[in-house]
Amino acid sequence: MNNLIPIAIPVVLLMSLMGVLSRIDYSHVIAQELKRKALHISVGFTALSFPLFLREPWMIISAIGLVVAWLITVRQTPSLRRHFGSVLNDVRRESLGDVYFAFAIGGLLLLTQDNPIFFVIPILILALADASAAIVGTVFPIGPLAGIARGKTAAGCTAFFIVAFAVSFWMLLTFADLQAAHALFVAAGLAASTCVAEAISRRGIDNLMVPAVAYLALLIANIPDNAGKMTIVQLQLDLNSLVAGL
């Protein structure tokens, strides 16, 4: 029974966030995007606590399975869609971004149990940089891109790069015990590679591609094993205490 409670925590938190944000009724496209990204950021910060209680592979798979089942049920049930799904569906484009987000969190949890910085950095990039790009690109649609990046804007990509770089540099410098030059180089690579992944992704698959590319970039950067493990755990606690107090 004690193991079942942690498994239920992610889906209960998601249900609560979706229920609250879906009650906010705005018709303006910018307000709808802000509401959707508020959920995006909230889920990202909440996920930072998952390594603290989802410690076994079967627990991770079960918890993510419940989340995906809930998201699919909301899509298929009109009453649930009306009361919980409007935060996702008010923005009128077909997307499985919410499901991809869940798979990204689950995959990172399974891959990074011994090196939490490899979990925290991709999740923070996805939560903050992706949301910044969407909001800036909607509010200031400057420099529309063409070709494979059609639908994205130069303003949104710039916002993504700046936030991804800042997040990565701060995390690497503070919690991975890297020298400034090394952290600067790795952060620039992370920001550039994830920015490209976000720009060329369609229908919400950036929620899967961005953290996957960030994880691979960290592997290529040869960050020391267990870098900053204890301080990252403390960071997870501090961030979630901050979110709980908002």
pTM: 0.85
Which among 3, 20, 127, 14 is positioned nearest to 55, based on CA atoms?
A: 3
How far are the Cα atoms of 40, 58, 90, 97 from residue 93, in angstroms, in the given order? 16, 34, 9, 11
Q: Tell me how far apart the alpha carbons of residues 16 and 100 are, in angstroms, rounded to a whole number.
A: 19
Tens of pLDDT along 68-107?
999 989 888 888 887 787 767 654 556 788 899 999 999 9
What does the pLDDT look like over 156-212, one tens digit per residue? 899 999 999 999 999 888 887 778 888 999 999 999 999 999 988 877 888 999 999
Kindly report the CA angle at 208 between 32 and 35, in degrees rounded to 5? 15
